[in-house]
Each structure stands twice: as structure tokens, then as C-alpha cells.
Structure 1
Amino acid sequence: MFVREMTEGECIALVSAGRLARLACSKDNQPYVVPIYYAYAGKCLYAFSMPGRKIEWMRANPHVCVQVDEISTRQQWRSVVMHGRYQELPDTARWHRECLHAWSLLEKHVNWWEPGGLKPAPQAIAGTSPHLFYCVYVDEMTGRAAVAGDAS
């Protein structure tokens, strides 16, 4: 097996085709990593969530890291890491168009609202949903691919 750098085009293709990622954020020198479903368009990862730890932490520190990978075998895989900035898309006039754009991209996938809309504990019934859309503006994207065999 050998590992090689992926081109920008290969990275974008993998991220565009993917749906599940791992989002890393941090607060007070404490890291936190969670799975998210996303849609990618124009250097932005769009996602959906209910309020909770990751939203609280990203509001406090908008610098995040996201990993998307595809594993065929132990010796054949591709992985892309993105560094970017969290931007909440509140349901306000200013962000309405961007919020609808996020929704239109996400809803193309079955169960697009998972896992962001699910919580491990029972939730109180509310008159309105506290859900929110957000995006990660991708500042940097790098990737590596492992291929069975040797590099020669």
C-alpha cells in the first residue's frame, strides 16, 4: 500500500459525493467530534442541527475542522480534511435565502435531518422547533488516498 496526496479536484469530488462527515470543534482547549450529515456547494458545507453542545461550542469558537472519508478496504481509502469557519444561518430576513438554499440541498437526501435532529434524551414538546441550519465556509481542503500495491 502507498499513500498519495489527492488533487483539489479529487477532494472536491469526494466531498461533493459524500453525505456523512465528522465535525470537530473546540472550546476552552477541549476538543469535541460529532458525526453530521451535510451537503456541499460552492466551498460551503451545509448542515442542520438542534441546539446542543456542538452549536454552543461553535458559537464560542467558529474555527472548525471537518473530515470526510471513503473506505473500500484497509489498504484502499480516501480521506479529506477541511478547515473552516462556522456560520449560523438564523431564520431572519438577512439569512432567509441562504437558509432556503441549505434546506434545498439537504432535502435531496433521505433522512437529511439525521443525526442533527435527534437527541439521545427525551425532548420537551415545544410550540416551535428550535432547529437551525448552519454552514462551514471551507478555507482549506486537503486529502490523501491509499492504494493497494507499491508506489513504483
Structure 2
Amino acid sequence: MNDSARPSFRSLDRDECMAILGRNSVGRIAYTSGNRVQIEPLSYVQHGAWLYGRTSNGSKLAATSTHWAPVAFEVDEVEAVFQWRSVVVHGGFYTLVDDGRADHDAEWWQGVQLLRGLIPDTFSGDDPVGFRTVLFRMAVQDVTGREAVPGRVPVLAVAAA
């Protein structure tokens, strides 16, 4: 096989990773629950160095922590087997609460407003996933990414008849 026909792989820089996080809205979060690693898909919104999302009360993810827990998060963009981008984030998971404290309420309302950019009826009477009552954010502390680019397909010369 000609080397130009082979796919190439490269690391993405932080700005490229953040751009991928910003243009997507569904990823997978990995966390520990008991002695198992759990992975769940979820919708999210990226804002600065934070990812905001929701989960259900009583879920394993919601039970992870009310203050801080280490988690990983992944987002992929896949066009073909050798044409994709993948981003992995490591950071802290924080449950946001609306408990009357001004600093908590401001964080909670910021999360709600950001999520309303994705699902306008978030936390309203018309919320399509109203059972997801636990609001959280994840700090984008460490982010890495990879990209695969397909190789060039050689052009075959066609013999004139």
C-alpha cells in the first residue's frame, strides 16, 4: 500500500477540543458507582471550561456526589472509519442546587439558562424530560483529542483505447 493511501492520525490541541465540545450536544460520561465504572450518554451544553447537563434524581450518576467527584466525558464526530475526531475530558462533577444560597442559586440559574439554549422548555411545565431534575456541571480540567484523516486514494490512469 502506498503511504499516501494510509490514514493519518494526530493529536488535537485544547482549542480544537473545546471547539468540538462546543459544536456538539450529546456525549458519554464515565464515573464510578460502587466497584464498577459506569458510562451513560447524555445531552450537555459547553460554556467556557464547564459542561452543563441534567440527570434523574435517584440515578447512579446523581448519587455519585453532591459536591465533587472525578469523572471522564467523551464526544465523537464520526464521518467514516478513518475520518473522525474524538475528545476526552477529565474533571470534577458538581451537582448544582437551588437551596436559597445566593452563590448556589446563581450557578443553578446559569445552568438552567444555558440548557434552555439546547432545550428551550428546560425546567418548565412543557419540559420534554421533566424527570431530569438534577442539574450538574463538569469542570473541563484536562482535555485531549485525536483525529483520523483518510489517506488519498491514488488516481489510476485509464489507458486510451
TM-score calculated relative to the size of structure 1: 0.82
Whether 1:57 aligns to 2:59 is no
Q: Distance in 2 between matches of 1:117 and 1:43?
A: 25
Q: Does the aligned pair in 2 maintain the 1:26–1:61 contact within 8 Å?
A: no
Matching residue of 1:102: 111
Q: For the residues of structure 2 that align with 1:103 and 1:63, how far apart are their CA atoms? A: 23
Question: Which residue does 1:87 correspond to in 2?
Answer: 94
Deviations 1:7-35 (A, max 9, x none): 11110100011100100001333110000
Q: Which residue of 1 aligns with 2:136?
A: 134
Is residue 31–residue 38 contact of structure 2 (8 Å, CA) maintained in 1?
yes
Percent same amino acid among aligned pairs? 26
Q: Which runs of 5+ in 1 are unaligned?
A: 119-128
Q: Deviations over 1:113-148 (max 9, x none)?
A: 6xx947xxxxxxxxxx77121101121000000000
1:16 is aligned to: 22
- Match of 1:95, SS state, is helix
- Number of residue pairs aligned between Structure 1 and Structure 2: 138
Structure label with greater radius of gyration: 2
Q: Given the alignment of the two structures, is residue 78 of structure 1 paired with residue 78 of structure 2, yes or no?
A: no
Residue number in structure 1 paired with 2:46:
40
Q: TM-score, normalised by structure 2?
A: 0.77
In structure 2, distance between residues paired with 1:12 and 1:112: 26
Select which of 137, 143, 146 maps to 1:144.
146
